[in-house]
Amino acid sequence: MANVQLAKNLWSMKFKAPEIIEEYFGAGQFISILVCDTWEHPLRRPMSIADVKGDCISIIYKTVGAVTKSLAKMHPGDSINVLGPLGNTFTGWEDGRDSILVGGGVGLAPMLNLHKMVKTSTIIIGARTSEEHFLSHSPQEGIFLTTDDGSIGIRGTVIPTLESQVMSKQNPKIFACGPEPMLKAVQSFALENQIPTQLSVESYMACGIGICQGCAIKKTEKEGIMRQTYHEKYDLVCVNGPVFSAEEVTFD
Amino acid sequence: MTDLRIKIGDITFSNPVFTASGTFGYGTEVSDLTDVSKLGAIVTKSVTLFPREGNPPPRVVETPAGMINSIGLANVGVERYIREMIPLYDNIGTKVIMNIAGTTLEEYCDVLEKVEVISSNICGYEINISCPNVKKGGMQFGVDSSMTEALTAEMRKRTERLIIMKLSPNVTDITSIAKAAENGGADAVSAINTVVGMSIDSETGKSQIYTTYGGLSGPAIKPIGLATVHKVYQSVNIPVIGLGGITTGLDAVEYLLAGAVAVQVGTATFRHADAGEQIINELHQFGDSKSIEKISSLTGAVKTYTK
Ligand SMILES: Cc1cc2nc3c(=O)[nH]c(=O)nc-3n(C[C@H](O)[C@H](O)[C@H](O)COP(=O)(O)OP(=O)(O)OC[C@H]3O[C@@H](n4cnc5c(N)ncnc54)[C@H](O)[C@@H]3O)c2cc1C
Ligand SMILES: Cc1cc2nc3c(=O)[nH]c(=O)nc-3n(C[C@H](O)[C@H](O)[C@H](O)COP(=O)(O)O)c2cc1C
């Protein structure tokens, strides 16, 4: 229905998907897209749901490789095959005053989705330069942009801004989705400061519905795990996630 | 309308399209996306004696016209399989073939014995002697004909149900392994399991799969599967079940012509969970358009230039 460029390498696509909306139950869930039915790109591509309005769904995607680039070339009237909604949701965000959302790049979609649910929450969006941002830096409204080069918003990674926002809340909670280095940094900050945190993680996926066992993510090691177990050491991002608490998962 | 029924051992299947092990879970997970009862049979994920976590990620990567996986046989283990999955088969509406994997002969036997003593809807066992992704594993059996024969014979002693030995293409002479399975008393063989493959990201210089090598599947391996099925068909008298890269009814027809009595659909189900159902429809269309009375008449009917 619409396919527009938001910023450098960042696009938004909106399309009709009433059947998916019927089963949709919240921010964090994703869909899996097959752009064309030839075998040039065998696997579906997972994409978080960025917005649900009427009978339309939006995604926000970064053009990183062949499939996302071909997605950017699509026009109203073209069709794609979509499987979903898949995965779980963020939880416990209802009190916006305490909720801090952190996103960037490929992880922008679920955070903007959540931000629409809790307008009073604070959102921090990281990028390398101003070219990759499309919102405006407006701290009064709780929207903070950061850039590595300081070309817009606050210079640096999202972490210093996250720190100062955490300080200003009574019972801060963090919700984050983005590139792995960002998630790692948010996770270690959260664990050090014992702040309840949920991370939406990524993993290479084949089926998206829990049958291929492909999208494993390492769980934080627990004491007393027996040698021969199933899903004690690894979870599946597609059905157990993509949202995990910061204590649950380990990045390598 | 073409009669799609086929027979393996004493068992008649409603059609020759089965799911492939590891690509359809335990057979009950996707019932909201496809009508499982339409399928000729489902073949379950490999089940081992003890639960298995599987390999560290990354476990899957896309490759040209295919994918590489190195799941490492992640599965619930036979006890939980019996407790939680088998009861669900009572109302599944299709035939169930349980796939078994192990690292020693005893392990295969233990799994089979545990399932044999309970009553269930399982009509047969597919024995995975060809998984490329576990260090110590079935693969030792799959490359050695005397071990294949011994394992098949041990399974045969313990069950009246169908025994299907699943063959690996990663061997020098697959026909000798197929013959060994036949000599051991197998009702059928299935071929092929995945082909050893590797994928490298030139940008980062990294191997894309944790275990470096994994199993290639999808259309990329179809020609290998066809050749293998044709060779095996010519060397044994038991039925051959063909798989590797089947995504359409016409792919299935090619496998039947090469010598298969039935086919399995794997990677294609990751794109469309109802791929098997579609393939059955396409087989019907093909049969009608060519006025084929029985689909089983296609088996081995390929015309080759030389004998
Ligand atoms: C749960 C989840 C939600 C996601 N949500 C978004 C989102 O909202 N917006 C967004 O821009 N991106 C999102 N991604 C990432 C997105 O799926 C990849 O960027 C996309 O698949 C790249 O495809 P490509 O062909 O353009 O690139 P390629 O060149 O094929 O791949 C580039 C990189 O993308 C990743 N990738 C490729 N194929 C897959 C696959 N089948 N499954 C998972 N990752 C893959 C790999 O890391 C790979 O190295 C999400 C991923 C997951 C797992
Ligand atoms: C993700 C994945 C997991 C698999 N797991 C198993 C398994 O547990 N046991 C087995 O015998 N084969 C397993 N296979 C192999 C398939 O059953 C099949 O032999 C192979 O994929 C070729 O068929 P295809 O090209 O239609 O996928 C697996 C394949 C894939 C892609």
- Domain-ending residue, one of A40, A61, A86: A86
Q: Which residue of A has its CA nearest to B219?
A: A39
Does residue A230 share a domain with residue A138?
Answer: yes
Q: State pLDDT tens for residues A33-92.
A: 999 878 999 999 999 999 999 999 999 999 999 999 999 999 999 989 999 999 999 999
Does residue A45 share a domain with residue A106?
Answer: no
Instruction: Name the residue of B26, B108, B193, B196 whose CB sits within 8 Å of the most ligand 2 atoms, as the mutation to test its pocket.
Output: B193
Does residue A239 share a domain with residue A172?
Answer: yes
Task: Please tell me the distance from the alpha carbon of residue A145 to that of residue A161, in angstroms, as a whole number.
Answer: 9
CATH of the domain at A64: 2.40.30.10
Q: What pLDDT, on the 0 to 100 scale, is given for residue B139?
A: 59
Q: For residue B131, which of B147, B143, B116, B145 has the smallest C-alpha distance? A: B143
Task: Please tell me the distance from the alpha carbon of residue B216 to that of residue A188, in angstroms, as a whole number.
Answer: 37
Q: What pLDDT, on the 0 to 100 scale, is given for residue B133?
A: 58
Task: Check A217 against B65: CB less than 8 A apart.
Answer: no
CB of B195 shorter than 6 A to ligand 2: no
- Other C-beta atoms within 10 Å of B294: how many? 13
- Other C-beta atoms within 10 Å of B144: how many? 17
Total domains in the fold of chain A: 2
- The whole-number average pLDDT for the span A182-207 is 96
Does residue A222 share a domain with residue A154?
Answer: yes
Task: Please tell me the distance from the alpha carbon of residue A147 to that of residue A134, in angstroms, as a whole number.
Answer: 12
**Is the residue at A91 inside a domain?**
no
- pTM, 2 dp: 0.95
Calculate the average pLDDT of chain B: 95
Task: Please tell me the distance from the alpha carbon of residue B194 to that of residue A81, in angstroms, as a whole number.
Answer: 27
Does residue A119 share a domain with residue A56?
Answer: no
**Residues forming a β-bridge with A125:** A103, A145
Angle between helices B105-116 and B145-158 (to 10 degrees): 20
Does residue A104 share a domain with residue A72?
Answer: no
- Domain-ending residue, one of A52, A86, A120: A86
**Is the residue at A142 inside a domain?**
yes
Q: For residue B127, which of B104, B146, B145, B151 has the smallest C-alpha distance? A: B151
**Is the residue at A93 inside a domain?**
no
Stretches in chain B below the pLDDT threshold 70: 131-140
Tell me which of A88-102, A183-197, A231-245, B235-249 is least confident. A88-102
- Confidence grade of residue A104 (pLDDT, cut at 50, 70, 90): confident
Q: Which CATH number is B6-55+72-196+216-298's, of 3.40.50.720, 3.40.50.300, 3.60.21.10, 3.20.20.70?
A: 3.20.20.70
Q: What pLDDT, on the 0 to 100 scale, is given for residue A222?
A: 79
For residue B33 the two structure tokens come to 């996306």
- Domain-ending residue, one of A44, A59, A86: A86
The ipTM (two decimal places) reads 0.93
Does residue A214 share a domain with residue A109?
Answer: yes
Task: Check A212 against B23: CB less than 8 A apart.
Answer: yes
- Are B243 and B169 in contact by the 8 Å Cβ rule? The answer is no
Q: State pLDDT tens for residues B115-173.
A: 999 989 999 999 999 765 565 555 567 788 999 999 999 999 999 999 999 999 998 89
**Is the residue at A224 inside a domain?**
yes
**Is the residue at A162 inside a domain?**
yes
Does residue A110 share a domain with residue A73?
Answer: no
Residue closest via CA to ligand 1's atom 14 equals A47
**Is the residue at A92 inside a domain?**
no
Query: Across the interface, which of B25, B55, B65 has its CB nearest the CB of A211?
Result: B25
CATH of the domain at A145: 3.40.50.80
Q: What pLDDT, on the 0 to 100 scale, is given for residue B132?
A: 59
- Confidence grade of residue A223 (pLDDT, cut at 50, 70, 90): confident
Range of the domain at A81: 2-86
Which residues are CB-neighbours of A193 under 8 A, at least 6 positions away? Answer: A166
Does residue A236 share a domain with residue A195?
Answer: yes
Task: Check A209 against B29: CB less than 8 A apart.
Answer: yes
Task: Please tell me the distance from the alpha carbon of residue A83 to that of residue A46, in angstroms, as a whole number.
Answer: 9
**Is residue A224 over pLDDT 90?**
no
Prior bond of A85 cis (ω within 30°): yes
Does residue A132 share a domain with residue A44?
Answer: no
Does residue A116 share a domain with residue A204?
Answer: yes
**Residues forming a β-bridge with B294:** B3
Per-domain residue ranges for chain B?
A: 6-55+72-196+216-298
- The whole-number average pLDDT for the span A195-219 is 96
For residue B20 the two structure tokens come to 């492939």
The continuous run of DSSP H or E covering B255 comes out as: helix B249-258
**Residues forming a β-bridge with B67:** B62, B217
Task: Please tell me the distance from the alpha carbon of residue B298 to that of residue B260, in angstroms, as a whole number.
Answer: 9
Q: How many helices (H) and strands (E) does chain B have?
A: 9, 16
How far does the CA of residue A41 sit from the closest CA of chain B (Å)?
7
Helix (H, G, I), strand (E, B) or coil at A167: helix
A106 or A204, greater pLDDT: A204
Does residue A176 share a domain with residue A65?
Answer: no
Residue A233: list chain B partners with CB under 8 A. Answer: 53
Interface of B with A in 233-272 (CB under 8 A): 247, 267, 269-272
**Is the residue at A166 inside a domain?**
yes
**Is the residue at A22 inside a domain?**
yes
- Confidence grade of residue A213 (pLDDT, cut at 50, 70, 90): very high
